[in-house]
Structure 1
Amino acid sequence: MGGDQAPQMVVAGLRQAQKLHPNISFLLYGQEKLLSKLIPSDDPLRAITQIRHTDEVVTSETTVSTALRSLKKSSMRLAIQAVADGEAQGVVSAGNTGAYMALSKLTLRAIEGIDRPAIAALLPTVRGLCVVLDLGANVEATTENLVQFAFMGSLFARYVLGIEKPSVGLLNVGVEELKGHDKLKMAQLVLKNNPLIENFYGFIEGDDIAFGKTDVVVTDGFTGNIALKAIEGTAKLLSNFLKQEIQKSFLSKVGALLAKSAFSTVKHRLDPHRYNGAPFLGLKGIAVKSHGGTSAYGFSSAINVAVHLIENKVNERLAKDISLLSQHLVQEMENLSLAIEKPTPIKG
C-alpha cells in the first residue's frame, strides 16, 4: 500500500518481476477488496500471490512514533514481520522511509557486530555502477559506523555486482589527508590498516562519484542523502535543458531525430527507475526500500535487488565475516586511542 501510485503500481511491478524470476512468489499485505480487483482469481499472478488483509496503512504523513506505537497491524509492519517469522525471505516497500527503517530495525534487528544499518544504493557512473551508503538512515555516523559501512558496501559490491576486490572511498571535502572532520580522518586510518578491506582508495570528493573513482562510496546519511538528491536534480536539469534546446529550431529537431538512438541509450542508462531499490544493509533480514514515486518498472527493479541479495546469501556472508571485522576494529581503535593519548616524546 506504500508509494505515490500504490497499490496499482506495486501490482504492475509484481507482474514484471514475475517474468524475470519465474520461481518467485508474493505475500501482498493491504486492503483485500482493492487488491482482489487488481489481481482477480483467474489472473496468473494470483496463483503465486497470497493477499493478506489489513485496513491499517502507513502513509507518507505518518510519524515514526505513530507507526511504531499505534499501527500494530499496518501492511508495512506485517510484511516486515513475515520476514522475521521466516515466512518470507525478503520485504520490499515504497512507503514512508522513516517508518520503514524504524520498523525494520525493531522487527528484524541488526546483525551482531553492526551498530547501525545503512541504506545503500547503486548509482550509474562512467565506469559502470557504484555502491553508495549511507543514504539517509543515519544523519550522524561515528568512526566505527563508517568502517562498518565500508565493510558492508564492499561485500555488497562483491556479491551483487560481482567485483572481486571492490575499491572503497570515503566521501570528503577534499582528497588531502588533513581535510575533513576527526571521525573521517580516524576512519581512514582504520581502513588503511584493515586486511578485510583489500582495496581501500582513501578520500574522494563529490564529483568523483559520477566518474566512478571507486566501486564503493562511504559517507554518513546526512551527506549521502544530499549527494543523492543533488545528483538526481542535476540529471533532471540536464534533461530539461536538452529538451528546451531541441525545441528551439527546425535544425535542432532534425538533429535530435538523427541522434534519437543515442538519446534513447543515454536515457536508459540514466533512468532512475532502473536503479531503484535501496537495501537496508546490516539487518538480520532482507529489507529493500523502493522510491515512493517510482513506476512499475522501478518497483520490479527493487524486487530484483531483494532477489539478488537472497540468492547471493549476502546477509549470511555478512554475519559470518562481521565478527572478524569487530575484533579487528576494537583492536585498531584501541591502538589509535593510545597513539593519540600518548604521543611519542620529542627528543632533544
Structure 2
Amino acid sequence: MQRMTTPPITELTTRAREIFRLVVEGYIATGTPVGSKALSGNTGVNLSSASIRSVLADLESLGLLAAPHTSAGRLPTEAGLRLFVDGIMQVAESTAEERAVIERRISQPGPIEAALEAASTMLSSLTSSAGVVMVPKREPRLQHLQLVPLAPGRALAVLVGDDGAVENRIVDLPASLPMGALEEASNYISARLTGRTLGEAVRLMRSEIASGQSALDAASRDLVERGLAVWSEDVMQRPVLIVRGQANLLDEGALSDLERVRSLLDDLENKQSVADLLEMAREAESTRIFIGSENRLFALSGSSVIASPYRDRDGRVVGVVGVIGPTRLNYARVVPMVDFTAQSLGKLIG
C-alpha cells in the first residue's frame, strides 16, 4: 500500500486549517466543490472572499485541495482527505438508534454466517455504501467422506462436514486402480478420520502409515490423500467475503463517470482481492481507513475502505468488517459504526 505524503497539520495556520476543514466537510456533505462565496457566508469565517481565495490557493499549492476545471470551487485531494482524517476529524460515538439497529440485526437466531451476512447488509443500509465482512476461516471437521466411482479414471468425492454442509468434488483416479480401493479408502476415512479437521486427518493417516499401524495399501492410501486434498484445497481458495449493497455505489455522482463505476464494480467482483485488502486491517488495533489510491485495488475507481477487525472471546482476530464507498464518505460517522459492528460481532464469535 502506498501512503500519500502530506504536510503536518501543525504547518497550517489556524485560518488555513479552518478553511480547509470547511471545504472538506462541505464536500463530504454535498459531493460538490466548495467555493469562496459559500465559505464567506459561513458565520465562523470572518474573511473577505479575496482572502479566502488566497487561502484556497495556498492549500491547493500544498496538494491538499484541487480545483476541477468545471468549477471555481475546491474539493479535497486524496492527500487532503488523509490529512483531514488523521489530524482534524473528530469521531463521535454511534447514536443509540444506530447501535440498537446494529445489535438487533446481527443478534437474530441462526448460524454465525447469517449474522455476518446481516452485518454486511446492515452496514450497507446505514451508510449507503457497500458493506463487506470477511468470514472467519474455519476448517471443517469430517462427518462423512465417500468416494463413488463415476467412470474410468474418475470418482465423485461426497463431502459432509460436521455442520451438515454437503459438497461434491471430482477426483482423478490412477488408471491402474485395483478393484475395491475406493471402498477401502471410504471405509478407512469413516472409521478413523470422522470428527477430525482436514489437517488432523492427514496427520493421523501419515502417522499410522509411518508407524506401520495402517492396513491401507498404496493405492487406497493415495485415494484417501486425494479425497482429503480436494476438499482442503477448495476450503483454502474459497472466497471468504460477503459483499452487500453494491447498487448503493451507483449514485448520481458515480453515474457521471461510468468508467470509474465499471472499474469499481469489477474490483468488487474480485472477492479474493478484496479479502486480501481487508487482511491488511487484521493486525490493526482499531479501525483502518484506506483512501483512494492508498490501496492498489481501488486506485482506479477512487474509492475508500473503512475496516475494523473483530475478535473471538479469546481476543484472537477472526475476521474483518467494513464499508466500501466513494472517497467522500462521511468518515466521522462511518468509523464508529464499523467499530461498534466489529465489537458486536466479536461477542457472537465463540
Tell me the TM-score normalised to structure 1 length.
0.27
Tell me the TM-score normalised to structure 2 length.
0.27
Structure with larger Rg: 2
